[in-house]
Amino acid sequence: MKLSGSIPARVQALRVARPPRAVASPTLARQAQLPSTSSSVPQRAFSSSPVPRRAVASTLSGFSNVYDDRDERVVRMLMFGKPGAGKGTLSARLTKKYDILSISTGDLLRQHINEGTAIGKQAEAIIARGELVPDEVMLKVVTSKLDSLQNKHWILDGFPRTLNQGLLLDAHLKKQNTPLTLVVNLNVPDEVILSRITDRWIHTPSGRVYNTSYNPPRIAGIDDVTGDALTKRPDDNPEIFGRRLEAFYKSTSPLLNHYTTQATTPITSPINNPHQHPHQVLLHRPAKLSLRSITGRTSDEIWPELDYIIMSMFPSLRKRSDDTLTTQNQPLGTVSAEVLANPLSFK
Active-site residue, selected from the candidate residues 152, 161, 297, 320? 161
Out of 30, 233, 250, 318, which one is annotated catalytic? 233
For this structure, is 161 an active site residue?
Answer: yes
Q: Contact, 296 vs 189, CB < 8 A? A: no
DSSP 202-223: EETTTTEEEETTTB--SSTTB-
Q: Is 233 an annotated catalytic residue?
A: yes
CA dist 243 → 132, 216, 248, 277, 330 (Å): 18, 27, 9, 53, 35
Establish whether 292 is a catalytic residue.
no
Query: Which are the contacts of 283, defined by CB distance < 8 A and separation ≥ 6?
Result: 56, 57, 60, 61, 68
Catalytic, out of 76, 82, 87, 97: 87
Catalytic annotation, pick one of 82, 96, 145, 200:
200
DSSP 35: P
Q: State the catalytic residue, choosing from 140, 152, 244, 292.
A: 244
196 is catalytic: no
C-alpha to C-alpha distance for 199 and 211, rounded to whole angstroms: 5
Q: CB of 76 within 8 A of CB of 178?
A: yes
* Alpha carbon distance 201, 236 (integer Å): 9
In contact, 191 and 84? CB cutoff 8 Å = no
Q: Residue 76 contacts by C-beta under 8 Å, 6 or more apart in sequence?
A: 153, 154, 156, 173, 178, 179, 180, 181, 182
Please state, in angstroms and as integers, the Cα–Cα distance from residue 25 to each residue in 22, 28, 37, following that order. Answer: 9, 5, 20
The CA angle 171-253-240, to the nearest 5 degrees, is 125
DSSP one-letter string for 230-271: PB--TT-SHHHHHHHHHHIIIIIHHHHHHHHHHHHSPP-SPP
Question: CB of 293 within 8 A of CB of 266?
Answer: no
The residues carrying an active-site annotation are 87, 161, 200, 233, 244
